[in-house]
Each structure stands twice: as structure tokens, then as C-alpha cells.
């Protein structure tokens, strides 16, 4: 392949891998993690929740359907680096517009292929997610190891400021950007602003576009605001509900957001996803902790404790709310992860506030949990009719 050259990946425990670069050139550090999804690499690359991370795909062949404008979850790739077993330079899909390699090159993201991703994943599972470096420039293991160990940790770090919007904006569907995959058939067709039934303020911690599409499809007119927006400013929009979005990093790294949501609790219905769920957990008096290697993929089983229903869900998080830290008199645990028993959903017992750790909007992944957006709508409807 033209312009490809040697590249190295070095983990902070001294483990190293050598492969061939594709995409951009350079040197980047980040926390190295793995994702078990078989498809959806474009959505993974552009998910702001991956800011600060080098992503390894466990599925061996990546790039065979190219990249298109519709499947972007943000305006550009958010990862620090991308590692695959085998990169497909040729792509074949009726929606494909450019190759994955050209897409990464355009956005200066280093991709590495030819890595034993099975061995790398097993190392991460054994040791845990750790700091790492990916490089096409320096191929000296000792030098790269020093840089990896000197790089910043995700613990306590505010990555939300790097991905949140700079000023408030009204979300609108863009036919060229959103195309035919605007919403899943299960949630119906999107409504225009004039037809909107509810007004929602979405606090942007790194929100995925498909979440906004799904909310609009449920009849919501959405105003997206920066993460540091005050509670007073949010309430000045007179919303029917407040949405806490997904986002990267440690929830303890954004204490200003926790303080804001404390002020909002009980004022309006609140719904949180992923980082938004963790922030709500801190607001409700819970504690958060870092998982050994996180949950990242489209095959995580989640059990609803009320109905007994099991959904296969998409997830992307390295931190979690500790179940035992929640006051069960105040907070009801609504769902758990069947793999490890960790918290996946909760609801305040008397205020209209609930959240889930997984991604009901998927993108990529199964649509088992699409219906959960309707719970937020029901809370807003009750508030309007009260």
C-alpha cells in the first residue's frame, strides 16, 4: 500500500507490538482499550466518548465497507489511534465514499495494522486498560515506553471540555448528513420543530448524533448546550426535560457538571446515558470507580430487574457507579450487567430522574433498548399534564 511504513505500539507495562501504518502519520499517547463489535468502526472512531483512547478492534478485518458521511457520530474521529489485525484498503458498499485509510489520513489519525490483536486484547484483559503510545516516527521501544509512562492518566482528567460544544445550538436533521439512517424503524419518523411535542435541553458532554436523532424522533425539539452551562441558564429555556449525554473519561473529573445537575434534580425530568448516568450517580450520593478493562462492544447483556427482560446492548465506558454506594431508599436499581453484575440502570424513587449505563441508541449495535427513550418522554408528559 502506498506510503505505508512501520509503526509501533508500546504499552506502559513494557509490552510492544510492531505493525504497518495506514492513515495518518505521527505519534500519540492514550489509554489503550479494545472493542468487540464486528461492524461499526466508523461510529466507534467518531464517538466522542473515545477521546483520550487508542482503540483496538477484536474483529480481524476492518475497513471493507469504507466510510460515508451518514455514519458519523460527530464531525471527526475522536480516538487517539486505531489498531486492527488486517486493514482492507479496497471497500465495497453502496454507501461507501472513501476508504478508511484515506479517512484517517484526512484527519491525521494514526492507524496500525498487522498487530496480533488477539494477543493485545488478552494482555489488556489480564493487566487492565493502561497507558500506551502509537507511533510511526520513533521505533525505539525504550524511548516509546518512557513517553507512554509519562503520558497523562484518564483518572480525574476533564476530557469533556475537549469535546463539548462551544455555544448553544438547536439540533436539526441534515438530509445530506443524516440520510436514510436518521432513525431506526422502531421509533418512527422524525418530527419537524413545528410538530415537536416536548422541549429538551441536552447537556453536551460529547453527545452522539444518533442520540439526538432518536430524541427528535420521539417528538422532542432539542437545544444542545455546553457542559459548563449553569442550572439557571438551562432552566431559562423552560424545557420539558433535561438530557445528560454520553462523554469521555472520569465522571469525577467534571465536578462542575455534578454541581449543576444537583441544582437541576427535581426541577425537571432528567435522563442520562453513559457518562450522564455516572454523573447522576454522583449526584444521588453514589461512588464511581474504574473498571479493569471496561465494557466496549455491541454484545453486552443487560437484565431489567422489574420485567426480567434481557437486552443485548452497545456499551463504551471504563468507569462505573458502585451499586452498594447508592442509598436504596432514594435510588432504585433498575438493571444490571449479566456478565459481571455491575450497575446498568437506576431511577430516583420520587423525582423523575433515571439513567442507563449502556447506549440505547446503539449506532453501532442492536436495537433492543430503543424503547427506553419513551420512558423519558413519559416523564415529560406527566410533568406537562401535572
**377 three-class SS:** helix
Catalytic residue among 320, 359, 367, 375: 359
Please name which of 70, 75, 72, 39 lies closest in space to residue 57, comparing C-alpha atoms. Answer: 39
How many other β-carbons are positioned within 10 Å of the β-carbon of residue 306?
A: 11
Catalytic residue among 43, 274, 317, 320: 274
How far, in Å, are 127, 201, 251, 256 from residue 232 at the CA level?
44, 12, 22, 14
Catalytic residue among 12, 31, 361, 375: 361
**310 three-class SS:** strand
**Residue pair 273/355 in contact by the 8 Å Cβ criterion:** yes
The DSSP annotation for 96-155 comes to --B-HHHHHHHTT-EEEES--HHHHHHHHHHH-SEEEEEESS---HHHHHHHHHHSPPST
359 catalytic? Reply is yes
- The x, y and z cell numbers of residue 330, run together, are 432514594
Chain position carrying cell 503520558? 151
**Residue pair 202/270 in contact by the 8 Å Cβ criterion:** no
361 catalytic? Reply is yes
Positions annotated as catalytic residues are: 274, 359, 361
Amino acid at each position: 500500500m502506498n506510503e505505508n511504513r512501520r509503526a509501533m505500539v508500546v504499552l506502559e507495562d513494557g509490552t510492544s507490538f510492531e505493525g504497518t501504518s495506514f492513515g495518518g502519520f505521527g505519534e500519540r499517547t492514550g489509554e489503550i482499550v479494545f472493542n468487540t463489535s464486528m461492524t461499526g468502526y466508523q461510529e466507534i472512531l467518531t464517538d466522542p466518548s473515545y477521546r483520550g483512547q487508542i482503540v483496538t478492534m477484536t474483529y480481524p478485518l476492518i475497513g471493507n465497507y469504507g466510510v460515508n458521511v451518514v455514519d458519523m457520530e460527530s464531525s471527526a474521529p475522536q480516538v487517539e489511534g486505531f489498531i486492527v489485525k488486517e486493514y482492507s484498503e479496497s471497500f465495497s458498499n453502496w454507501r461507501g465514499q472513501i476508504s478508511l485509510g484515506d479517512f484517517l489520513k484526512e484527519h491525521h489519525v494514526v492507524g496500525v495494522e498487522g498487530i496480533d490483536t488477539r494477543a493485545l486484547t488478552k494482555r489488556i484483559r489480564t493487566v487492565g486498560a493502561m497507558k500506551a503510545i502509537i507511533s510511526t516516527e520513533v521505533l525505539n521501544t525504550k524511548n516509546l515506553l518512557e513517553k507512554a509512562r509519562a503520558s497523562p492518566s484518564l483518572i480525574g482528567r476533564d476530557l469533556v471540555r475537549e469535546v463539548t460544544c462551544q455555544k448553544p445550538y438547536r439540533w436539526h436533521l441534515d438530509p445530506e448528513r443524516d440520510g436514510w439512517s436518521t432513525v431506526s424503524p422502531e421509533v418512527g419518523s422524525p418530527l419537524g420543530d413545528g410538530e415537536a411535542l416536548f422541549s429538551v435541553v441536552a447537556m453536551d458532554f460529547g453527545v452522539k448524533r444518533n442520540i439526538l436523532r432518536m430524541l427528535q424522533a420521539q417528538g422532542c425539539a432539542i437545544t444542545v448546550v455546553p457542559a459548563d452551562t449553569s442550572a439557571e441558564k438551562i432552566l431559562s429555556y423552560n424545557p420539558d426535560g433535561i438530557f445528560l449525554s454520553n462523554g469521555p473519561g472520569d465522571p469525577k473529573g467534571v465536578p462542575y457538571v455534578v454541581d449543576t445537575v444537583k441544582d437541576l434534580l427535581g426541577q425537571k425530568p432528567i435522563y442520562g446515558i453513559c457518562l450522564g448516568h455516572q454523573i447522576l450517580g454522583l449526584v444521588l450520593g453514589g461512588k464511581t470507580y474504574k473498571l479493569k478493562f471496561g465494557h466496549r462492544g455491541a454484545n453486552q447483556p443487560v437484565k431489567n430487574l422489574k420485567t426480567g427482560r434481557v437486552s443485548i446492548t452497545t456499551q463504551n465506558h471504563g468507569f462505573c457507579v458502585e451499586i452498594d454506594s447508592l442509598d436504596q431508599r432514594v435510588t432504585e436499581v433498575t438493571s444490571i450487567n449479566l456478565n459481571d453484575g455491575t450497575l446498568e440502570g437506576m431511577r430516583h424513587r420520587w423525582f423523575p430522574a433515571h439513567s442507563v449505563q449502556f447506549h440505547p441508541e446503539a449506532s453501532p449495535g442492536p436495537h433492543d433498548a430503543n424503547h427506553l427513550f419513551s420512558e423519558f418522554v413519559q416523564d415529560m408528559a406527566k410533568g406537562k399534564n401535572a
